[in-house]
Amino acid sequence: MAIHRRVLLCGIALAFGLGASTATAKTFELQGASIEDIHAAVDAGKLSYEKLVQLYLARIAAYDKKGPALNTVITLNAKAIETARALDAEFRVRGRRSSLHGIPVLAKDNYDTADMPTSGGSFMLAKSLPFEDAPSIRQLRDAGAIILAKVNMDEFAHGGVGFSSRLGQTRNPHDPKRHPGGSSGGTGASVAAWFAPLGLGTDTYGSIRSPSSVNGIVGIKPTNGLISRTGIMPCLLSFDTGGPMARTVYDVALALGFMTGVDHQDPLTEASAGLSFRDYTQFLRKDALKGVRLGVIRDHMGLDAEVDRVFNAAVEELKAQGAVVVDELHYPSVALNSRADVMQPMQAELNEDYAAYLGRLRPGFPKTMAELASQGAKLTVPEGEFRPHPAMYEIFSKYSSAPVDSHSLSYIAAREHGMKAVQGAVLGLMQQHSLDALVYSTRPIPAEIINPDIARITERSTAPAIRSIANVAQFPDVIVPAGFTRDRLPVSISFVGPAYSEPRLLGYAYSYEQATHHRAAPATTPSLPGERFEY
């Protein structure tokens, strides 16, 4: 009888609206929406994945070649709406394949995609259609993600300002007079401008971290070998890795899990067996910084007062979250000199790396670095949609005309001993101070003003960096926004740790992000009609 009375009273309350709560009303706003927010709006019947793709395509139409003219998109997926429509139908019948179901992704144009050309930012490969997807692309598609577009990058990933002969100069949405970092500059700028929730970058010297920093987004350079390098155009293969970029730590952690796994075509991934996870979001806690010992690296500080100010404030914020900070640390010289002492000798493998990738392309495309150099040298004036970029091919000419033997003692010493020495130096610094991770200012200066003569400059970024130390050591590095300069230019901090410490580093970054919320949408790409609604 008591149960009957409670049911009756509940029914009366609902009939008179007493059970309805205005507190449950939600506002969806595309520019601030996480992947979880997107799925919640779909579950409520107020958004479809087809509509989601249309909203992002509208933003690309409004801001990529118009408005601030960010110039990020090389190729739009002609079947993106059709794919989204099919995923909507699948969702209605069987539910979601995964938490990436229906989520658009922007891929740097050095990831092989069987349905769109992969140019590496080069005019010579503008029509190069791969035979199959890179494993990381295939894994994302199998999870239900939609590869919405291929985006610009520095030519063959050699550079730091987002310039290529394929598309020209990409611009930073926070200040279009400035560059977007590189070489994953197209990904950084397009994710910051909210052309999609997720983007893919690659990192050899810092090419995920620099654009994540100057565009004010989150990124991760994973442990080398956590993600397969198969089907990704090489830059310097021993130090190459792919990785996700997004606006939130949660979304980066979510995407990372779908990209990991052993690939027998890439022997480096075999070391990740039993050390990778399919779900990195399980490690995200708001109190993850409490009691953690963090070493603050001060190398290359003092180059920009505003960046220093923001970084110093970030260190105080880490303390406020309970982290134990060991400040004023410096990398040992063997690590600081590793770009010259280890990476430079290992460029001996460039000819072999490129020959291996180019040899798998369809007929009619260059097959060696020497052919790239020869054909690139002919590009001295604009040709149709292409722009001159002779500096890149001067580099290729240098390495193809005077190749270094990859069996030489200098190469073997760098590979077998130099990399281990850097790993040991970093781990030794952490052990000496009983540290859980290292923290540093991702980029010691803001994004520079774009140089109009950039195509003729071989070294295209003047910012000194310690980012490449993580590449030599093969260690993970998570980047999270830390604030803005007085000119409203983003600044970020990086969390670095030993191999396969992604769960901890993502947890620290998430804890910091949730306590500070320093990310802000660029003023040049405001919301468009239809992006905000109640449900």
- What's the rounded Cα separation, in Å, for the pair 219 and 216? 10
Phi and psi at residue 473, in whole multiples of 5°?
-75, -15
Q: Which residues sit opposite 169 in a β-bridge?
A: 163
- What's the sign of the alpha-carbon dihedral 88, 191, 242, 387? positive
User: CA separation (Å) from 43 to 96, 109, 198, 208, 535?
Assistant: 11, 33, 20, 33, 11
CA angle 444, 73, 239 (to 5 degrees): 50
Strands 27-29 and 241-246: unpaired
Amino acid at 45: G
Degrees, nearest 5: CA angle 180-387-464: 35
Q: Are 269 and 261 in contact (CB under 8 A)?
A: yes
Assign residue 409 a region: left if phi > 0, alpha if psi is -120 to 50, beta otherwise?
A: alpha
496 pairs with which residues across the strands? 438, 477
Question: What H or E segment, with its residue span, contains residue 9?
Answer: helix 2-15
Catalytic residues: 108, 183, 207
In 369-425, which ranges are E strands?
none
User: 505 phi and psi, to 5 degrees?
Assistant: -65, -40
User: 231 near 132, Cβ under 8 Å?
Assistant: yes
- Do 248 and 227 touch, CB atoms closer than 8 A? no
Longest CA span, the chain: 92
The C-alpha atoms of residue 183 and residue 209 are separated, in whole angstroms, by: 10
Q: Hey, how many other C-beta atoms are within 10 angstroms of the C-beta on 16?
A: 9
